[in-house]
Amino acid sequence: MKNATTIRTMLVLLATVFTMGYTRAAEPFRKSNNAHAAIERELEHALSRHVIFPVMERGNDMTGEVVVSFVVNREGRLEVLSCESENKELEQYVLRKLALVDVGENPDGIWKTTHVRFVFRPETA
């Protein structure tokens, strides 16, 4: 009887020792990404709506590429960090259009830098 109690005690201690390294801590609190996902969707929608091929600029050559880097501020407006293009008129056109973009309030403030390459070429039929 004493041996059985001793063996049970030893087994409990042994099981405790082996399982101590495997205890799981509580998961960290994760903030919902729904707000960021909504801002990203709205940003994509606003860029598609505002930055289009400049059809009305007939007198100028408005073809080429514009590479832009920007962030979204607390008010939901774009803050352009850099804008580069060989076609300076096209670059100014893109900057004017980006100034119109408003993705709504961004309570977290400035977040990740977004890099976009706009390619302006007329469509072929």
Q: What is the per-residue pLDDT across 70-99, written as a single tens digit (0 to 9) for each? A: 998 888 889 999 999 999 999 999 999 999
The model carries a pTM of 0.64
Calculate what percentage of the chain has a pLDDT beyond 90. Answer: 26
Residue 10: which H helix or E strand, with range?
A: helix 2-20
Q: What is the pLDDT of residue 125?
A: 61
What CA–CA distance (Å, rounded) separates 65 from 86?
A: 8
Average pLDDT over residues 9-29: 68
- How would you write 34-57 as a 3-class SS string? HHHHHHHHHHHHHHHHHCCCCCCC
What CA–CA distance (Å, rounded) separates 48 from 62?
A: 17
- What is the three-class DSSP state of 77? strand
Q: What is the pLDDT of residue 96?
A: 92
Of the candidates 41, 64, 51, 44, the one whose C-alpha atom is nearest the C-alpha of residue 95 is 51
CATH number of 34-120: 3.30.2420
Average pLDDT over residues 4-20: 76
Give me 6's structure tokens. 């001793």
Position 30 confidence tier, pLDDT thresholds 50, 70, 90? low
Domain boundaries, the chain: 34-120
Of the candidates 1, 107, 103, the one whose C-alpha atom is nearest the C-alpha of residue 48 is 103
Looking at every residue in the chain, the average pLDDT score rounds to: 81
